Each structure stands twice: as structure tokens, then as C-alpha cells.
Chains A and B, each alone.
Chain A
Amino acid sequence: MAVTERDPHTGYLTTGHEWNGIKELNTPVPRAVYFFLIATALFSLVYWVLMPAWPLGVSYTKGLLGIDQRTTVDKALKRAALDRESWTKRIEAESYQAIQADPALMPIVRQTGRSLFGDNCAACHGLSAKGGKGFPNLTTASWLWGGDPETIAETIRVGINSSHPDTRVAQMLAFGCDQILPRADVENVVSYVQSLSDAAAAKQIPATKLEAGQKLFAANCASCHGDDGKGKAELGAPDLTDHNWIYGGDPQSIFTTVWRGRQGHMPTWENRLGSLERKILALYLVDLRSRNP
């Protein structure tokens, strides 16, 4: 038999049960709880009537408002495209030179290009496009495959050593590993290559070494990098006479490059970015370079 008692503090009766000293008051459920239960249930009912809500076997209740997330997204995308049409059409239609000379279009290119670059390219080339070891600096005049906007757009489209059928292909041979040149020859050619861009270092290297290196360079390297070492953009061979090095310009790094070879990789962006976006990126990079002292 349950014995109820009155709680002196609240004045409510207990239920009469006790568990290990714990009792429960028989307080009625506060009105607010019922009120909010009914209010939220009513809200839900109205929402179910208006929106897609309940399954009906193979279909579902569509809701009086006729809203569906897929059509909503489609409409929003179309509206956004319309909003941008005023300038996207012009960028698509006009030549690179015309856009570059247009004071109305270039601010849009800078703004849009920046976030496009940040979301797609910065993972390798860095947010400021200055690259890092193994990833080219895109703010200099030194471009492997050419730095005019058309060429940059094409490189973005097909990639380098990528899976695209028209990919740009280039490979620096592993002159040491593949035993094309003996170690002494590799060391000589490394000294010569270093001297091309580093006049101070050149003074420290014995003339005989440089001479031997020069001959080896003419025989083995010039076909891609040119007799003067200034590279050939049509082959993707870098200029060795400037200060821009992808893999490092110190003797050890150059040695590693000649000994083991190099084959960088850039993915194709054709399936990920549209032609408009690739064009904006190319324009953005050329603009970035022009503003880089």
C-alpha cells in the first residue's frame, strides 16, 4: 500500500513510492508542456501539408506549395547564371587582349579568379601562387609551357603528364640512375648548370670543370634546354639561366634532379572547370604576374 506524504517545501503530495530513499512528487505536468507539445505538433502538421512530407509507397505527399529541393536548386542556379550573364558572356566572347584592356572586366577577373584559384590551385601552388618545392611559382615570367594567357588556359585544360589524351608531356631523364652519364660527368654538368644563373658560384668552380660541363651540356641537355640553357616552352623545358627553380637551385638539388630525373604532374581541369572559369584563371594569373614586381 502506497503511503503518500506531503512535501513540506513545495506542498505537493508524493506518489507514495520510494526507491533507496528517492521519492517522487505527484506534481501535475505543467500546462506549458502541453501547450508547447500542441504548438510544435501544429507547426509540424502545417509544415507537412505545405511541404513534401510523408511516404506513400512508391510516391510521397508533395505538399501544397509544390516545393522540392531539386527544382529549387535548379532555379537558383539558373537565376545566378542570369545575374552573372552581363559579364560572363563578354568574357566568353572577347579576346584575352580585349579583356585585359577592359577596366570594367578586370576587377571581376581579379575577384573571381582569386577564389577560383584558392579553391582549385592553391593546394599545390599556394594561396599567393608563389609555389613551393616541386610546385612552380606562377608569379614570375618563367613559365614551363609559356606564359601568355591562351597557353596558360590550354595547360589548365589538358594538364601536364596527366590522364588527358592531349596532355602536355615532359620528362627530365635520370642521367645518373639510368647510367646515361657517369658520376663525374654529372657533377661537371651540375657545376656548369649552376654557373648559368649564379655568377658568384661560377667564380669558385675550376675552369676545367665548367668547360667539361659545357661540352656535356651541349651534347646531352641542349636539345631540350637550348644551347644557351634558356629552355624551350614548346617542350616544357625550363629556363636554367634565371633564378626560378622548381626543385631548388643549390648544387645538391641540381645534382638530384640530373641524377634521378624529374617528371612533375599537373591534373587536367577540363572536366572540373568550365571554359569560362579556365579563361578567368588564365587572365587572373597573367594579371597577378604583371602586378608582381
Chain B
Amino acid sequence: MIGQLTIGERQFALVMLLALAVIGFAIAVAGRDDLLGGHGALVILVALAGIFAVIHGYYLPAPSEQRFERYYDDPTKVGIIVAMGWAVFGLFVGDWVAWLLVYPELTFDAGWSSFGRIRPVHTTSVIFGFGGNALIATSLYVLQRTSRARLPDQLSPWFVLFGYNLFCLLAVTGYMMGITQSKEYAEPEWYADIWLVIVWVVYFSIYLRTLARRKEPHIYVANWYYMAFILVVAILHIVNNLAVPVSLGHAKSYSSFSGVQDAMTQWWYGHNAVAFFLTAGFLGMMYYYLPKRANRPIFSYRLSIISFWGITFFYMWAGSHHLHYTALPHWVQTLGMTFSVMLLVPSWASAANALLTLNGAWDKVREDATLRFMMVAAVFYGLSTFEGSFMAIRSVNSLSHYTDWTVGHVHAGTLGWVAMITFGAIYASVPWLWKRESMYSARLVEVHFWLAVAGTIVYVFAMWNSGIIQGLMWRTYSESGTLAYSFVDSLVAMRPYYIARAVGGLLFLIGAVVGCYNIWMTIRTAPRTAGEAVSAKPDSVLVGTPALQPGE
């Protein structure tokens, strides 16, 4: 890894890591009487590990000029492996949390393992750890190929990848220590948030610098989605995390917003995190890997553009549907609901564009579990966006809000859409990246596919049942006009569904473990492909390809 950096990049890496170590030291000293001190120590450790790694490889020969002939894929390879690691960890914690709702004693009497702490560990690990790393890894891969341009340098992608994972690490360890700003999906405190901004700006600059050097006349639609993901997440992240720390030596901070403005800002962030992190980014993934794997042209260029702008425009307004029947003024709720309803059209247009692209390749969907992952992802994308618009209608929301239906809806989206498209993309890219004929075992991909589908369906059906029963129990009145059930009654009624949900989650987790094994075996043992003659493999050589592609 260090051998690929130029001498100048190695020196710059050392300077940056030393600066990071100094910052870590400053944090550790300033925060010595606070939980913050522990994070300072963690930053020092990470920086020192990095320094040792760079020094270890410092005197390796400088990379040859030949590197410019090939795309720079090593950050993508590491990103995919790290993403799978986060997937297994995050899904394991998620299933633990699920069992915790059945057997509350599974915290083993420790503070760090209480529900309120490990639930955000689960959400952050799967959304940001798994999803985020997969997005970074695939975006760098797709960006280079669809631009026919190599990444601008060797150092910045590593900075983004490792910097981003340091953020995830600070987040997850912080929750277990009790550091949180109590904003859902934005729990990390101010210092981690500032760090993420730096990482994110570098990420966006990689995108712009590569696109500026592209050899294709047009920017492919996948890059539009990836860029929307990067740009809007930066805006959301900065605004929602505006806060004043108690002091520079304390982890705790206070939000700049209060009351209903705080709630509105949080859910403007929260819903657009769904939109631009969990939707736009993964649509970018879908727009590359699905047509590539199916070997079919995109069904409609026009549909992809109209969907892009529809999604970008409508999603921005929809956040207030998380606050129906609250102190939020009625008119804001109206806007949130109506824009959520209109949002369904571009969402379904995207799902339809994906599925119609498969016309002419349905035989492959039947035979190839990797492509089937992507097809099922598109179906779940359609299902959960319909469900989301439906639940955003105020009168429906009065039944569904605060119930497990919401949890089921989120998981239909994350398990069914986000995780499935990611697994599909990873199974497609691993053989390409490591120059293998195919995955180690097609059967194991098949096994993973069915475990993932079964797990998702069990999970979602359990939560639909549980959520609707909860919602109905909470609004059932007796003949005398008083509530028929207490909250505890509804909890007792949930128990069988909580067991089913935890079993569904377990199936999904086992699937991910099978996937890890398969990927590991592909990297380790599968034979190298002979030459460059693999049909589905994208061309990784820049020099030697015609200067102009047929379409130019």
C-alpha cells in the first residue's frame, strides 16, 4: 500500500499523521477529566499505527510511471473488505438489540450494552460503517471507469477511506461510553462531526478533480447520483450538527437549535440522510452495476434524468412528515405530506428504470444470484418508497407513527434495497478487482441470496404485524370511552413478533457471514483469470484503449 505512494505523498502522509497525533494528544490532555480524553488516546493510537505503517514502507522503491496506465483500485479493495467487516459487526449488534427486546437481561448488567447505547452502535455500523464504506469503495471504482480517468493522486483516497473509518470508530466507541448528542443518525459529538467534514470535503474534491480530467464527453448518471450523495450529505451534516461544545475539553455540546426548530432540523437531516445517503448513493451504485452485470443498456436515459431531479427536489421538503401531530405547525406538516406523495413518482420511475433495464436479461436474473440481488433490491426500493409515501399521509401516520411499522419500513429499505444492491455490487466487483474468473462459489452467493431474502421478509412481516397491532391497541377505546389497553399490554402482545424479527435478522446476519467467507476465499484461492478476456470484466487499462470510444 505504501509502495504505491510517491515519495512526496509518503512525506505528506507522515506530516498529516503527525498532525493527527498532535491533535489526538491535545484532545487527550484537554479532555483528561472527561470521556473526551479516551477519544484523544484513541486518535493518538490510530495516528501512531499509521505512522509506523508509513515508516515501515518508506524506503520501498517509488511507484513506476506505469501506474498511470491503470485505474487505482486498491482503496476500493480495502473499502469493500472494511464494509463487509462493518456489515457483520453491525448486523450482529442489530440482532443482539433485537433479542434484547425479547430478553432484556441480555445486557449482562453492563452500562455499555444497554439498549440506548447499542442501538445507535447498530444503526451507525450498518448505515455508515457498511453502507458508507461500500459507497466510497464503489464510487471510486465507478468514477474512474465512467470517466476513463485515474484518481488524481494516491494519497487522498486513502485519507478519505481511513479518515471516514476513524469517524465511524469514534462514533461507535463514543456511544458505548455514553457520548451522544441524542440526534438520531447524527449521534456523534462535535469533534467527530468536524473531522467528518474535513474527510468529506476531500472526498468531494477527489470527485471533482477526477471528473475535470475525464475523457468521456458526458458525465454518466451514476456519477450524478454519487455527487448528489456527497454534496447534500455535507450540507445536511454541517447544518444539523451546528452546536456549541461545553468547552474544548468536553465531549458534550449543545445544539444551536432548540424546541420544535431542533426537531424540524433533525428530521430535515434525518429524512434527507435516507434520501441522499441511503437512496441517491445506492442509486448511483445501481446505475453502474446493474446494466454492467446484465449487459444491457439503461432502459431510458430520459427517465433517469427526470427521476434524478425529481428525487433531489421533492426529498428536500419531505422531512416534516416525521413530525405529524406534534408541536410543529400544521402547515409544515401539510408540505411534508404533499411533497412525500409527489416523491413517489420519481422513486417508482427509478425502480422501473432499473427493472426495465433487465428486459432481455431475465434469463440471467434467473441463473445469476448476483444480478438477482440487484433485481430484488430494485423491487424492495419500489416497495419501500411506496410504503414511505403512504405512511407520510397524516391519517395513516396517526396509526403507524411510534410503532414497529416504522421500524419495519426502514428495514424494508435498508435490508431489502440498500444491503441487497450493495451485496450485488460487491459480488460483481470482487472478481473484477482481484482479477478472478468468478466468485469462489456461485452456490454460496445463491445461499446468501436466499438467506437475505428470507431474513428480510420475516423481519418486515413481523414488524408490519407488530406495528399495526400496536397502533390499533393504542387507539382502541372501551364502551365507556376510555383506553382499552395499557402500553404494557401492547408490549406483551409484541413478544412473538419480536422473536420472529430477531430470527429474521439472524438469517440476514448468517447470509452476510457466508458472503464474507465467499469473498475471502475468492481473494485467497480462486485461480487468476488468463489475460483480460473475461466478458463481464471492465477494461482496467487506460493506455491501449482507443482514444475515442464508439459513442464519442
Please indicate the chain B residues that have their CB under 8 angstroms from the CB of A108 in the complex.
480, 482
Residue of A9, A68, A112 touching B330 (CB-CB under 8 A): A68
Let me know if A18 and B550 touch, CB within 8 A. yes
Is A52 in contact with chain B by the CB < 8 A criterion? yes
Residue of A20, A53, A70, A84 touching B539 (CB-CB under 8 A): A20
Interface size class of A (residues with CB under 8 A): 35 or more
B552 CB, nearest partner CB in chain A, Å: 7
Is A122 in contact with chain B by the CB < 8 A criterion? yes
Name the residue on A nearest B324 (C-beta). Answer: A69
State the CA gap A5–B328 with chains docked (Å).
54
Residue of B145, B218, B310, B341 touching A17 (CB-CB under 8 A): B218
Could you name 24 residue pairs across A and B whose Cβ atoms are closer than 8 Å? A3-B551, A19-B146, A20-B145, A23-B297, A23-B551, A25-B300, A27-B303, A29-B300, A30-B300, A33-B303, A40-B341, A48-B338, A51-B334, A54-B331, A60-B331, A63-B334, A69-B330, A84-B480, A115-B483, A117-B486, A118-B486, A119-B487, A122-B488, A127-B488
Let me know if A47 and B485 touch, CB within 8 A. no
Please indicate the chain A residues that have their CB under 8 angstroms from the CB of B216 in the complex.
17, 19
Please indicate the chain B residues that have their CB under 8 angstroms from the CB of A166 in the complex.
none
The answer to whether residues A22 and B478 also contact, given A33-B306, A55-B331, A61-B331 and a CB cut-off of 8 A, is: no
State the CA gap A22–B219 with chains docked (Å).
12
Pick the most buried of A1, A10, A80: most chain B CB atoms within 10 A of its CB.
Answer: A10
List residues of B whose CB falls within 8 A of some A CB.
145-146, 148, 216-218, 220-221, 288, 291-292, 296-304, 306, 310, 325, 329-331, 333-335, 337-339, 341-342, 344-345, 348-349, 352, 359-360, 478, 480-489, 492, 538-539, 549-552
State the CA gap A116–B342 with chains docked (Å).
42
Is A41 in contact with chain B by the CB < 8 A criterion? yes
The answer to whether residues A18 and B302 also contact, given A111-B478, A111-B482 and a CB cut-off of 8 A, is: no
State the CA gap A77–B24 with chains docked (Å).
56
Q: Residue-by-residue, is A96-117 near B (CB-CB < 8 Å gives 1, otherwise 0)? A: 0000000000001001101111
Name the residue on B nearest A44 (C-beta). Answer: B338
Please indicate the chain A residues that have their CB under 8 angstroms from the CB of B342 in the complex.
37, 40-41, 44
Residue of A15, A48, A53, A111 touching B480 (CB-CB under 8 A): A111
State the CA gap A44–B345 with chains docked (Å).
13
Residue of A24, A33, A112, A114 touching B345 (CB-CB under 8 A): A33
The answer to whether residues A112 and B482 also contact, given A36-B345, A53-B331 and a CB cut-off of 8 A, is: yes
Name the residue on A nearest B361 (C-beta). Answer: A9
* A-B interface pairs (CB < 8 A), number: 166
Please indicate the chain B residues that have their CB under 8 angstroms from the CB of A127 in the complex.
486, 488-489, 492
Let me know if B297 and A44 touch, CB within 8 A. no
A174 CB, nearest partner CB in chain B, Å: 26
State the CA gap A28–B301 with chains docked (Å).
8
Name the residue on B nearest A28 (C-beta). Answer: B302
A152 CB, nearest partner CB in chain B, Å: 19
B442 CB, nearest partner CB in chain A, Å: 22
Please indicate the chain B residues that have their CB under 8 angstroms from the CB of A14 in the complex.
297, 551
Please indicate the chain B residues that have their CB under 8 angstroms from the CB of A33 in the complex.
303, 306, 345, 349
Q: Residue-by-residue, is A46-80 near B (CB-CB < 8 Å gives 1, otherwise 0)? A: 01100111110000110100011110000000001
Pick the most buried of B288, B334, B338: most chain A CB atoms within 10 A of its CB.
Answer: B334
Let me know if B300 and A48 touch, CB within 8 A. no
Please indicate the chain A residues that have their CB under 8 angstroms from the CB of B360 in the complex.
9-10
Name the residue on A nearest B328 (C-beta). Answer: A69
State the CA gap A118–B489 with chains docked (Å).
8
Residue of A7, A20, A43, A55 touching B297 (CB-CB under 8 A): A7
Please indicate the chain B residues that have their CB under 8 angstroms from the CB of A80 in the complex.
481
Please indicate the chain B residues that have their CB under 8 angstroms from the CB of A37 in the complex.
310, 342, 345
Let me know if B487 and A22 touch, CB within 8 A. no
Let me know if A84 and B345 touch, CB within 8 A. no
Name the residue on B nearest A120 (C-beta). Answer: B486
Residue of A24, A41, A70 touching B304 (CB-CB under 8 A): A24
Let me know if A27 and B549 touch, CB within 8 A. no
Please indicate the chain B residues that have their CB under 8 angstroms from the CB of A252 in the complex.
none
B195 CB, nearest partner CB in chain A, Å: 33
Let me know if B334 and A48 touch, CB within 8 A. yes
State the CA gap A84–B334 with chains docked (Å).
32
Is A94 in contact with chain B by the CB < 8 A criterion? no
Pick the most buried of B292, B342, B344: most chain A CB atoms within 10 A of its CB.
Answer: B342
Pick the most buried of A29, A36, A37, A114: most chain B CB atoms within 10 A of its CB.
Answer: A29
Beyond A23-B297, A115-B485, 15 extra complex contacts between A and B, CB < 8 Å: A2-B552, A10-B359, A17-B217, A17-B218, A24-B221, A25-B299, A28-B300, A33-B303, A33-B345, A36-B348, A37-B310, A40-B341, A47-B337, A68-B330, A127-B488
The answer to whether residues A69 and B333 also contact, given A18-B550, A25-B301, A40-B344 and a CB cut-off of 8 A, is: yes
Pick the most buried of B216, B341, B481: most chain A CB atoms within 10 A of its CB.
Answer: B481
Residue of A25, A29, A54 touching B306 (CB-CB under 8 A): A29
State the CA gap A37–B489 with chains docked (Å).
43
Please indicate the chain A residues that have their CB under 8 angstroms from the CB of B549 in the complex.
18
Name the residue on B nearest A107 (C-beta). Answer: B480
Please indicate the chain B residues that have their CB under 8 angstroms from the CB of A117 in the complex.
486
Name the residue on A nearest B221 (C-beta). Answer: A24
Is A26 in contact with chain B by the CB < 8 A criterion? yes
State the CA gap A118–B474 with chains docked (Å).
13
Let me know if B551 and A60 touch, CB within 8 A. no
State the CA gap A256–B9 with chains docked (Å).
68
Please indicate the chain B residues that have their CB under 8 angstroms from the CB of A15 in the complex.
301
Residue of A20, A30, A48, A54 touching B303 (CB-CB under 8 A): A30
Sort A-B residue pairs by CB-CB distance and give the 4 closest, nearest first: A118-B486, A18-B551, A9-B360, A27-B300
State the CA gap A60–B329 with chains docked (Å).
10
B532 CB, nearest partner CB in chain A, Å: 13
Residue of A3, A22, A26, A67 touching B292 (CB-CB under 8 A): A22
B339 CB, nearest partner CB in chain A, Å: 7
Name the residue on A nearest B300 (C-beta). Answer: A27
B84 CB, nearest partner CB in chain A, Å: 24
Please indicate the chain A residues that have their CB under 8 angstroms from the CB of B301 in the complex.
15, 24-27
The answer to whether residues A44 and B480 also contact, given A25-B299, A29-B300 and a CB cut-off of 8 A, is: no
State the CA gap A160–B552 with chains docked (Å).
83
Name the residue on B nearest A2 (C-beta). Answer: B551
Please indicate the chain B residues that have their CB under 8 angstroms from the CB of A111 in the complex.
478, 480, 482, 484
Please indicate the chain A residues that have their CB under 8 angstroms from the CB of B288 in the complex.
20, 22
Please indicate the chain B residues that have their CB under 8 angstroms from the CB of A1 in the complex.
552
State the CA gap A283–B297 with chains docked (Å).
74
Let me know if A118 and B487 touch, CB within 8 A. yes
Please indicate the chain B residues that have their CB under 8 angstroms from the CB of A122 in the complex.
486, 488
State the CA gap A190–B539 with chains docked (Å).
86
> Among residues 122 to 146 in chain A, which have CB atoms less than 8 Å away from a CB atom of chain B?
122, 127
Let me know if A83 and B539 touch, CB within 8 A. no
State the CA gap A76–B280 with chains docked (Å).
41
State the CA gap A26–B146 with chains docked (Å).
19
